[in-house]
């Protein structure tokens, strides 16, 4: 009987140790912006400070990031978290990353979607994406133009 109790205690301690040592879940939500990095950052700053009324703790226009105090809608004063927003130029466009630690991912998605909506409202339709330049197709032989012999 005593042996089984010791095993249960050890199993419980092992489980608690695993939970304590596990990395905290700090997901972040990303999105694509069809606007320039400068437009996206500028719109994000206005969205955070003016539209949402949040305090901007730190900002860097060159690195295009914001650190701000985020209060979830309907929460008490003690529920404020420090949020971050990063705007990064990537191949093929601009990416933005929203991180609101200790909150469900839903809040990050709603924040991102609100920002993207603001960008569309302020800047209008995004500029058309540039298509990669197509290589000219090699000349196909036609009855009036025979194929060129392979180079030797």
Q: Answer whether residue 72 is part of any domain.
A: yes
Q: Answer whether residue 98 is part of any domain.
A: yes
Total domain count for the chain? 1
More confident residue, 141 or 86: 86
Q: Answer whether residue 1 is part of any domain.
A: no
Question: Tell me, what CATH number does 56's domain have?
Answer: 3.30.310.80
Name the most confidently modeled range: 24-38, 100-114, 121-135: 100-114
Structure confidence by residue, pLDDT tens digits, 68-97: 999 887 776 668 899 999 999 988 789 999
- Which structural domain, as residue segments, surrounds residue 105? 36-123
Q: Answer whether residue 137 is part of any domain.
A: no
Q: Answer whether residue 97 is part of any domain.
A: yes
pLDDT category at 7 given cuts 50, 70, 90 is: low
* 93 backbone φψ class: left, alpha, beta (φ>0; ψ -120 to 50): left
pLDDT exceeds cutoff 60 at 59 = yes
* Per-residue pLDDT, 55: 94
**Torsions phi, psi for 48 (to 5 deg):** -70, -50
Q: Answer whether residue 77 is part of any domain.
A: yes
Structure confidence by residue, pLDDT tens digits, 24-52: 445 689 898 989 999 999 999 999 999 99
Measured distance CA(118)–CA(107) in Å, rounded? 17
Q: Is the pTM of this model over 0.75?
A: no
Measured distance CA(121)–CA(114) in Å, rounded? 11
* Per-residue pLDDT, 24: 41
Q: What one-character-per-residue DSSP string does 68-101 give?
A: EEE--TT--GGG-EEEEEEEEEETTEEEEEEE-T
Cα four-point dihedral sign 9, 10, 16, 17: positive
């Amino acid at each position: 009987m005593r042996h089984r109790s010791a095993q249960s205690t050890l199993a419980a301690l092992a489980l608690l140790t695993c939970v304590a040592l596990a990395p905290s879940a700090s997901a972040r939500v990303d999105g694509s912006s069809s606007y320039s990095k400068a437009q996206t950052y500028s719109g994000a700053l206005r969205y955070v400070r003016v539209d949402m009324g949040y305090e901007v703790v730190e900002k860097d226009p060159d690195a295009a990031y914001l650190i701000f105090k985020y209060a979830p809608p309907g929460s008490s004063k003690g529920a404020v978290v420090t949020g971050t927003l990063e705007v990064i130029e990537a191949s093929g466009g601009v990416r933005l990353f929203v991180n609101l630690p200790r909150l469900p991912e839903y809040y990050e998605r709603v924040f991102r979607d609100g920002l993207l909506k603001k960008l569309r409202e302020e800047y209008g339709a995004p500029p058309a994406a540039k298509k990669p330049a197509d290589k000219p197709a090699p000349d196909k032989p036609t009855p009036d133009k025979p194929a060129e012999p392979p180079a030797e």
